[in-house]
Amino acid sequence: MSHFPILSVTTFLPLLGVLAITIARRNSAIADTAARWIALITTLAVLVLAIVIWIGFDGTTAAFQYTERAEWLGRNITYHMGVDGISMLFVVLTAGLMPFCILASWESIKSRVPDYMIAFLVLETLMIGVFCALDLVLFYVFFEGGLIPMFLIIGVWGGKRRVYASFKFFLYTLLGSVLMLLAIMAMYYYAGTTDIEVLLKSSNFPAAMQPWLWLAFFASFAVKMPMWPVHTWLPDAHVEAPTAGSVILAGILLKMGGYGFLRFSLPMFPIASDTFAPFIFVLSVVAIIYTSLVALAQEDMKKLIAYSSVAHMGFVTMGIFTLTHQGIEGGIYQMLSHGIVSGALFLCVGVLYDRMHTREIDAYGGLVNRMPLYAVCFMIFTLA
């Protein structure tokens, strides 16, 4: 590496915060307060680094930048990191949302605070790693590793049905993960490498092989987005997750599926992507109409936002699989805007829940009279 490994530092800096919290928790008198401040300072430091990367990013080229490479599991499976125009946006989005998640948990999380903050910092490392990884095996480790801290965040600090929601989330995602792992193994067997940059430039998988590889990746990405009909884990996860968990789930984790389609499905399996595009359109239209109608019937504010998220992701998949510049750009824009807006909406709902201890929409009548500024902000985010 001929330059400062800023991507690796940005990715793994949260683990330094984990170490600091582990040391600080030995003193039980200050463990909770120290964990909160360490987590906040760490996430702010990551945000600063992400902004530095963004400022230095050359938007005039499609090439990967800030690339880092080191031997890992032999010559053909390497530690390879880098960002391009697509991944850069999601790195900044991830780093930008994390401090708000820590602040949203400042008073609401009262039990096992150090463990909670450790889970979030580990999750931040894994999420940023997903968008920076340029090796299939490394991507898979980051992509599936995020299951564990999110499973714990929902299962330990969630609501009454947290165990059910966390296991449902875990099992749905795990099924697709196995198929994607098999596809990665097949790609390595055929191409002799798992380097994403090499595969994008020189690997042309046979037309007969592409549909199977495409379907294996689709199984994982469709659950992650989620697409209809494998979306049923999302409302339960959102309802039971703590506020910060819902923010990250909607703001970042759902975007990993769309990012996967853009990074792998379209460029690596173009023939299969063109073949399956009508199938994606059908699923997307059903998702938009069906989940929008279901959202209208919800009485729980979190469930309403969760179902609307599935509808929004339907627009994303439609845009991506138009296979046009305008459609793909629209899909990326929708993912970014949804990441910000949905995160803001869940934060707003969290503020109300902390004060009123209910998420029932009927209980929020007359809110504009009691909290006018809050009501205006909520309306702006809703319109967005």
pLDDT in tens, 39-49: 999 999 999 99
Integer angstrom CA distances of residue 28 from 16, 221, 280: 20, 42, 53
Paired strand residues for 74: 72
Higher pLDDT, 345 or 363: 345
Q: Is the pTM of this model over 0.75?
A: yes
Contact 219, 179 (CB under 8 A): yes
- Give residues with Cβ within 8 angstroms of 332, minimum separation 6: 86, 89, 258, 262
- Which SS3 state, helix, strand or coil, does residue 83 take? strand
Whether the pLDDT of residue 1 is over 60: the answer is no
Please write down the long-range contacts of 146-150, taking CB distance under 8 Å and 24 or more positions apart.
Answer: 146/253, 146/256, 147/173, 147/174, 147/177, 148/122, 149/119, 149/120, 149/122, 149/123, 150/123, 150/245, 150/248, 150/249, 150/253
**Confidence category of residue 203, pLDDT binned at 50, 70, 90:** low
Q: How many CB atoms lie under 10 A from the CB of residue 369? A: 8
Give the model confidence (pLDDT) of 332-353 as tens digits.
999 999 999 988 888 888 888 8
User: Which tokens is 91 given?
Assistant: 């790195």
Give the model confidence (pLDDT) of 119-129 as tens digits.
999 999 999 99
- Which SS3 state, helix, strand or coil, does residue 81 take? strand
Count of positions (residues) in the chain: 384
Q: How many CB atoms lie under 10 A from the CB of residue 3? A: 8
**Alpha carbons 225 and 258: distance in angstroms, whole number:** 7
User: Considering only CA atoms, which of 5, 245, 304 is closest in space to residue 123?
Assistant: 245
Q: What is the mean pLDDT of the chain?
A: 88
Backbone angles phi, psi at 267, to 5 degrees: -75, -30
